[in-house]
Amino acid sequence: MSGAAAPAPALGHVVETGIYVEDLDRACAFYEGVLGLAPMLSDARFRAYPLGRTVLLLFKRGSALETIQLPGGTIPPHDGAGRLHFALAVAAADIGPWRVRLADHGVEIEGETCWPKGAVSLYFRDPDGNLLELVSPGLWANY
């Protein structure tokens, strides 16, 4: 190898985020009932939910431990454990209605942060203990 490495090609946005849950039906009831998501693809192993340009994947923990053979190729094994965190974008005007919706569904808001650039974050957990964040614009330089 000679000289400096070439710069990395550009990356875009995150296409998928996957989390792992113990009880897929229970988790789907939460994501569909509380968050209002509608699945676009599902089977016994997982559900896929569209979120703007990204996809939220819920996998039943332990269901993807073998290589998946598809007509176009393979998906290597994957799995995860522990309480994860991810944030979902919401409009600033929707923070109040989200507080009400979460309360109406018996979901405790564990934390709330008002960020220096004006964003507001609401933190709560799904049935598997994953920490979800609803955040309005102004959190990061690119959001």
pLDDT digits (tens, 9 = 90+) for 81-128: 999 999 999 999 999 999 999 999 999 999 999 999 999 999 999 999
More confident of the two residues 11 and 33: 33
Q: pLDDT (tens digit, 9 = 90+) per residue, 55-82?
A: 999 999 999 999 999 999 999 999 999 9
Total structural domains within the chain: 2
Q: Identify the band that residue 4 occupies on the pLDDT scale cut at 50, 70 and 90.
A: confident
Handedness of CA 100, 18, 80, 137 (dihedral sign): negative
| Same domain as 131, residue 89 | yes
Are 22 and 48 within one domain? yes
pLDDT of the residue at 55 = 97
Q: How far apart are the C-alpha atoms of 23 and 62, rounded to whole Å?
A: 11
Classify residue 89: in a domain, yes or no: yes
Domain that holds residue 68: 11-78
3-class secondary structure, 110:
coil
Over 80: is that where the pLDDT of 1 sits? no
Residue 67: CATH number of its domain: 3.10.180.10
Residue type (1 letter), 136 = S
**Cα four-point dihedral sign 16, 73, 11, 83:** positive
Other CB atoms within 10 Å distance of the CB of residue 135: 21
15 with 74, same domain? Answer: yes
pLDDT digits (tens, 9 = 90+) for 12-28: 989 999 999 999 999 99
- Dihedral sign, Cα of residue 37, residue 121, residue 79, residue 127: negative
